[in-house]
């Protein structure tokens, strides 16, 4: 094997990292979907406080860089808790787990993007469907669960796919808080093997592979979701 391709046994480090990257991505995506549904509900609800909270959430989160938010949560949250508890006379010390902090922050950030996706998707469901559901006597909750929620996915999938693509790339930022995902592990490998270009290039190819697999998965899911729709 040529010298610049010899990873000196650090290849497994990269594959372990890739696995953790996918896990982190999936967990954050789950959080972002839950937050996105809540946010869309807040934006579409007929309640001023809910509108305000959801509006502020999406405006602020989409206007601040991910890295700043990650550092704010990872370093800022423990000191904030300490300061508040000190003011209250108690002595609390918390040490955030990088996995939990990373997943929650990424999920929180992309929840704002999912909010916009779900808002659009809920509005795209035919009004007649809701009217029909109400006319047969369904309550608001039942109508949401049986009519809106199942039909909304078809419109939300393309947008959610985009969110996922950006999200999986954003997980590389969690390497800053020392979580051993793909980026962090390729960093370790790069330092140990003194082959930075090789290691980072391999890492970038793994990210590219994840993107390609996601693209194919997205096509399949859209095909599945649209199977009831007649094409012109």
Partner 1 sequence: MPLIPDIVIESLPRLLSGTWVTIQITALSVSIGLCLAVPVALMRVAKNRMISVPSYVFCFYFRGTPLLVQIFLIYYGSGQFVGFLETVGLWQFFKQAYFCAVLTLTLNTAAYTAEILRGAIEAVPWGEIEASRACGMSTPLMYRRIVLPKAFRLAWPAYTNEVVFLLQATSLVSIITVMDLTGVTRVISARSFAFYELFIAAALIYLALVYSILFIFRRIEHRLTGHLQAARNLPGRLA
Query: Would you tell me which residues interact with partner 1 (CB under 8 A)?
Result: 4, 60, 63-69, 71-72, 75-77, 79-80, 169-173, 175-176, 183, 186-187, 190, 194-198, 200-201, 203-204, 207-208, 211-212
* Closest distance to partner 1 from the beta carbon of 214 (Å): 10
Whichever of 129 and 162 has its CB closer to partner 1, that residue is 162
Residue 192 and residue 217 in contact, taking contact as beta carbons nearer than 8 Å: no
Cβ 11 to partner 1 shortest distance, Å: 17
Q: Taking the complex as a whole, how short is the minimal distance between the CB of residue 150 and partner 1, in angstroms?
A: 30
Q: How far apart are CA 156 and CA 167, in angstroms?
A: 16
Cβ distance to partner 1 smaller for residue 133 or 190:
190
Q: Which is nearer to partner 1, 100 or 149 (CB)?
A: 100
Whichever of 79 and 219 has its CB closer to partner 1, that residue is: 79
CB 7, min distance to partner 1, A:
13
Report in angstroms how near the CB of residue 189 gets to partner 1 at its nearest. Answer: 12
Nearer to partner 1, 6 or 131 (CB): 6
């Amino acid at each position: 094997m040529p010298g610049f391709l010899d990873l000196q046994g650090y290849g497994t480090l990269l594959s372990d990292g890739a696995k953790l990257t996918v896990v982190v991505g999936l967990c954050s995506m789950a959080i972002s979907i839950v937050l996105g549904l809540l946010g869309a509900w807040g934006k579409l609800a007929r309640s001023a406080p809910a509108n305000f909270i959801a509006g502020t959430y999406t405006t602020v989160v989409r206007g601040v860089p991910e890295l700043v938010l990650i550092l704010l949560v990872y370093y800022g949250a423990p000191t904030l808790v300490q300061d508040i508890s000190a003011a209250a006379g108690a002595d609390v010390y918390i040490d955030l787990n990088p996995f939990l902090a990373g997943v929650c922050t990424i999920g929180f950030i992309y929840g704002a993007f999912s909010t916009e996706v779900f808002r659009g998707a809920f509005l795209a469901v035919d009004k007649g469907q809701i009217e029909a559901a109400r006319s047969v006597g369904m309550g608001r909750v039942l109508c949401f669960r049986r009519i809106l929620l199942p039909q909304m996915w078809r419109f939300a999938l393309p947008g959610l796919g985009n969110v996922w693509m950006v999200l999986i790339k954003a997980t590389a930022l969690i390497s800053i808080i020392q979580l051993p995902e793909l980026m962090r592990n390729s960093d370790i490998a790069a330092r140990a093997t003194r082959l930075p270009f090789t290691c980072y290039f391999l890492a970038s190819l793994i990210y590219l592979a994840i993107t390609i697999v996601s693209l194919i998965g997205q096509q399949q899911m859209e095909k599945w979701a649209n199977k009831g729709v007649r094409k012109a």
